[in-house]
Structure 1
């Protein structure tokens, strides 16, 4: 044995596996072991290893605080046992043993009691009433005992008894907390919670608080917050959430007293409350009834207000308390929010479709009643209908059955009644064309879409649902466009187009049976303009909705999503309305030109431009535009400015230019249909000047002014005397006089309408072509 003790490595290996007491005894076994093997650096490493196991860090500063190295009395050592780990966190190289002595003197007596299972009067009397100091000592004993790991049996026994003692201690602390909480001594309870936290009994501390913060024990929630009609009772919901908010605020105050900022409890409590109570409320509210989900934005706003915004600040939760609570609410409510959003487009489409369908049925019923009234009014003008009891819809068959008239008279009356009925229907519908589209209904539908998107926008701060929100709001917009187009606007314009095409003022003039108080001489363009104006207002509403609800709220990025089907739907709707407007205006201009032609044919008499010089009235005739020209200009004036204020300037210009160009063509045709004498030419000049003044100074469309300027020059072809045929021929040959508007052939056609053309033709053609008929030689 003595030989082994001379081997340094063996001695050191044995020493490193001994506890403190055995090591010190082994060190003293002989001089060689003490002086040669277990001294100096080897000895320091042994003690340093124990300090490292206790959680201290080694430094290479050899200076040791004097207060730690003094020879302490027993009382001082016990005093140090509550603070030694706070004051000594490092140890210098070469002085590990001296530092370990301080911890040994402080905690070895406690370990000795634990080894001997001597747990009575474990602490000195001065610590009996101070659980904070006691728990500190428990924790320090545990750290100190780790230095005994070399003696596993002793280490485990100390550890086990320490656990038992701590359990007894924790139970006594919990009992103290219970007793003091019962009498509302929350400051005392806070001290004991602090003890539990120091003892690493966080779970016990939290469970104690939870046992005192059970919402279900403090109040009952109503079974439902909806009335018998399925409407959300907001006041009832507000009261429930206010009670929850009051409960939470009382617990926030309590947590701040009990835990202060020593351990986070409020956030954990809030998350649990949301999981258990708030989600239970959501289930009570909606259950499996998806139709009630439309109230989700209101419910969310109420929850956010009462259970987040109105919560008190919390020292325990920290400065981001409200932000974190909102994140919890958003996270747990996310599934129900997504579900709500998924059903909104379909719900919107169902509601809007129902509204349009209801309007169609109501309009159809009104139209049927009006048609019957029209028929009865017309029928009563010709017959005594007191005995009619048959189906009013089968107008002609009922007429045939009731009236016993000769066949030829019956047939004539039938035809007249049918014609009058059809034309009066057209007239009545044209007069009511603006009712084809209900601006009020369109406004309500757009408002409903706006309400839907506004409600979904409630969740724009819920991070994980923003993508869904954008898609669903876009979907609502597309449904809005589609429903407006297919269910209302398109049918209205198509019906209007049909009426415009059917309208014939000539037919209406021939009708003998007319409704009293109803003007059958309707103006299609006037009525269609009403529809254009309504369409323009609808476009404005759509544009405002698109701008305010989709662009400004970032539902769509107009700079990046220009190919988005939402943008395309909007453009398609605009193009569709533009096409209807263009087609309707074209039809209207056609009808306007029909009116112009009708006035030309009925009001312009042959003697206007070719008067009889022998007529005594001719000499007294005032030189001014004819009655026909005045009526034409009045007709054009009434129709050319209908679009002012109803649509954009570009459309108005195109419309007015088209009227001007088409009217120019009608004037040309009209001139070529009349015989014009030199005496009557002055009146043609008056008429053409009247048309020119209207175009140049009232219509103000510069592109068509040259057309009517050229027409004024055409009038000069007639005022030249027949005796001056050479001058007339020169005029015809001077194409430049007509600004390139008319070719020589067209000018020739105008000249052919001179009343004296037969007499002047030969001389005119000789000037034009350089020869006459007598100059031709037949071979």
Structure 2
């Protein structure tokens, strides 16, 4: 006891005592109390700092802790008197500490003794236990007491918490949600928020058999009815859970959001829908739309979450669906390109197989016609059979070769228009439109994970890819094959006199114009696609000439125009070859040089050759009508007219024309002129044919008027400036009486004749 009379010793001892022991020591004597008093402030400040109660000397609270009890002891935040505050907290909680320290934790029936005989709600018990834990943490001056008290408080708190969770589980299973709500309040006081959320998740695990086996049909396409059913089931499921959560948790804990996020991430999007989308990425936009629109909009309001319930749900959907959307955008164009090229390749393969089969049938048909019994036994060696026949008979070989080539060329011409397939192109364009429609689904959704700029760029890319696919893999190869067939066509190779007389069309040109029609239809469809899907929907501005989509469209148009121009040029060549062939075969030598010298020779109008030529031309000049713009048609028709003019001139220069025959020539030239004026109707070339009519007059003038003939040659105005004097002179040399009129003609033209020249 002598030690207690020394203030420094007492102060040192007091600093290492628990609050209860220090207060007890103060009761020993006034001297001891006085010795402890100087260290009270620091001692109690140190205790309060453990519970974040601030010491503020200026703080005024005359009724310090008067309104507090064991459940609210630590609600004080400031104090100007740490000693008084600590003593009062100790007085409020010391009985509970004593009861707890005396408790046998193995005897759950005695747990109620901790709280005394007074009736206390479960929530207040929880508050007292939380305060006891704070008190134990605060009372740490005596390490032995601190460890013993803290351990006992924590163990009891754990057991109490477990009991409450067990009670909550039992009542939850019995759907006594009002009792669960009270237990939630109790456990919330005990800082069991995370454990309660986990408890709800554990008690409400997403059913493993909730979803159907798939939402795709047998063709791996989206079954919209199945998806709709899934969305309806999800709405019902979450509305049921939301109702339970509202009853159990109210607004105490954000359980609904945590539960919603967890299930969306791990079960709905992260598992089932992700698996289904990876089976067919094309369903991503529709699934996303259904989730973000039809699922979210049909969720009932949630008391637990509040007014942001649907906003937050959309946020979760975007968060976990965004990787699928990104993958879809990345793969959709690749898939579109691969599928389109595959369709084109299949078309090409099928066409080649059909072409091969048709060619084999041609060979077999001709082989059967000429084959001997010996050759027929070797039916699988087609080429060998041909070789055998060729070796047996040269005449047969030539005939077979002729017929085979004729049939093959006829087949190739017939199939010319099939090199570009409108139905295939239309299907690919429709697929591109479907891609655009799918991407635009994202634009129709409020709060979509992708913005307008990204959507526009993606649609633009679809259009560019569409044009590239059609141009590179279908249109360009198709026209190249067609032009190759045109180039190899020889109109003179397989014609007979009978076929010439009934000739109506030049098949390559007709078939090529049909191909042009198909190409133009494809371009028109692309133009409609461009206007409807890109311009009207404000994906791009058509006036931005440097825009990639605009540039791609112009390149396609230029490619088409080049092929059309090249093909038509070749086609016109073949048409003119055909006309030349007609002139060389149907134009008889005596057409313009009748044998009869009778001036009254009967005139039956234009020659059969002229009529056939005009008929042939008439059947070709309007081939492009309706398939391309008027400017192209005019160029095409003018080119035909000019080239026809050249062929006529060439034909005249090859003939011998008598005065009587001139009448027939003039009939032919009048027919050509009428064709140009009334059928072709291209005013630019009318002067050429008017000049040709004047050429006919050169042969009508009698040899007795040879001087007048010479004057006519010198009058270039008669020929509209179309022909030079040398050309007119050449025409005149084709007169049958040229040698008789030559002297007078040349003298009229040059002032002297050849016979007037004398060598000195």
After the TM superposition, which residues 91-106 of structure 1 pair with which residues of structure 2 at under 5 Å, given as runs?
96-97=80-81, 101=84, 105=88
CA distance in 1, matches of 2:377, 2:503: 30
Number of aligned pairs? 736
Residues 666-724 of structure 1 show CA distances to partners (whole Å, capped at 9, x for unaligned) of 12112222344556555545544443443345334344344334434444544555555
The match for 1:778 is 759
The match for 2:653 is 672
> Is the contact made by 1:529 and 1:643 (CA closer than 8 Å) also made in structure 2?
yes
The match for 1:361 is 353
Is 1:586 equivalent to 2:579 in the alignment?
Answer: no
> Is the contact made by 1:505 and 1:521 (CA closer than 8 Å) also made in structure 2?
no
After the TM superposition, which residues 596-611 of structure 1 pair with which residues of structure 2 at under 5 Å, given as runs?
596-605=579-588, 609=592
Q: CA deviation at 1:580?
A: 4.2
> Is the contact made by 2:284 and 2:325 (CA closer than 8 Å) also made in structure 1?
no
The match for 2:159 is 168
CA distance in 2, matches of 1:110, 1:503: 116
Residues 245-284 of structure 1 show CA distances to partners (whole Å, capped at 9, x for unaligned) of 5444432332233233432233433343345434554698
SS of 2:626's partner is: coil
Is 1:186 equivalent to 2:174 in the alignment?
Answer: no
After the TM superposition, which residues 229-308 of structure 1 pair with which residues of structure 2 at under 5 Å, given as runs?
246-274=236-264, 276-278=266-268, 279-281=270-272
> Is the contact made by 2:7 and 2:36 (CA closer than 8 Å) also made in structure 1?
no
SS of 2:722's partner is: coil
After the TM superposition, which residues 21-170 of structure 1 pair with which residues of structure 2 at under 5 Å, given as runs?
54-55=51-52, 69-70=62-63, 77-78=68-69, 82=71, 96-97=80-81, 101=84, 105=88, 108-111=91-94, 113-114=96-97, 117=101, 121-123=113-115, 128-129=120-121, 131-139=122-130, 159-170=150-161
The match for 1:515 is none
Residues 717-757 of structure 1 show CA distances to partners (whole Å, capped at 9, x for unaligned) of 44555555555444434445545433332232223234444
Residues 353-384 of structure 1 show CA distances to partners (whole Å, capped at 9, x for unaligned) of 345423432443244335544665xx49xx99
| Alignment match of 2:495 (pick from 494, 508, 511) | 508
Q: TM-score, normalised by structure 1?
A: 0.74
Q: CA deviation at 1:665?
A: 0.7
CA distance in 1, matches of 2:534, 2:15: 77
CA distance in 1, matches of 2:129, 2:419: 89
SS of 1:507's partner is: coil
> Is the contact made by 2:260 and 2:313 (CA closer than 8 Å) also made in structure 1?
no
Residue 510 and residue 675 in structure 1: after superposition, are their counterparts in 2 closer, same or farther (change >3 A)? closer
Residue 568 and residue 392 in structure 1: after superposition, are their counterparts in 2 closer, same or farther (change >3 A)? farther
SS of 1:639's partner is: coil
After the TM superposition, which residues 760-775 of structure 1 pair with which residues of structure 2 at under 5 Å, given as runs?
760-773=741-754, 775=756
CA distance in 1, matches of 2:430, 2:33: 103
CA distance in 1, matches of 2:375, 2:7: 145
> Is the contact made by 1:193 and 1:258 (CA closer than 8 Å) also made in structure 2?
yes
Q: CA deviation at 1:315?
A: 4.2
Q: CA deviation at 1:201?
A: 0.8
Q: CA deviation at 1:593?
A: 1.0
RMSD in angstroms over aligned alpha carbons? 5.7
CA distance in 2, matches of 1:682, 1:255: 109
After the TM superposition, which residues 476-487 of structure 1 pair with which residues of structure 2 at under 5 Å, given as runs?
none
Q: CA deviation at 1:589?
A: 1.5
5+ residue gaps in structure 2?
Answer: 104-111
> Is the contact made by 2:695 and 2:731 (CA closer than 8 Å) also made in structure 1?
yes
The match for 1:196 is 187
> Is the contact made by 1:436 and 1:492 (CA closer than 8 Å) also made in structure 2?
yes
Is 1:633 equivalent to 2:614 in the alignment?
Answer: yes
> Is the contact made by 1:508 and 1:521 (CA closer than 8 Å) also made in structure 2?
no
After the TM superposition, which residues 464-483 of structure 1 pair with which residues of structure 2 at under 5 Å, given as runs?
none
CA distance in 2, matches of 1:137, 1:740: 122
SS of 2:564's partner is: helix
| Alignment match of 1:211 (pick from 202, 210, 215) | 202
Q: TM-score, normalised by structure 2?
A: 0.75
The match for 2:518 is 534
**Residue range with higher mean Cα deviation, 658-667 or 759-768:** 759-768
Q: CA deviation at 1:639?
A: 0.6
> Is the contact made by 1:349 and 1:479 (CA closer than 8 Å) also made in structure 2?
no
SS of 1:508's partner is: coil
> Is the contact made by 1:501 and 1:587 (CA closer than 8 Å) also made in structure 2?
no
CA distance in 2, matches of 1:273, 1:173: 26
| Alignment match of 1:523 (pick from 500, 507, 528) | 507
Residues 75-112 of structure 1 show CA distances to partners (whole Å, capped at 9, x for unaligned) of x543xx656766x6566xxxx23x98578536642145
Is 1:646 equivalent to 2:627 in the alignment?
Answer: yes
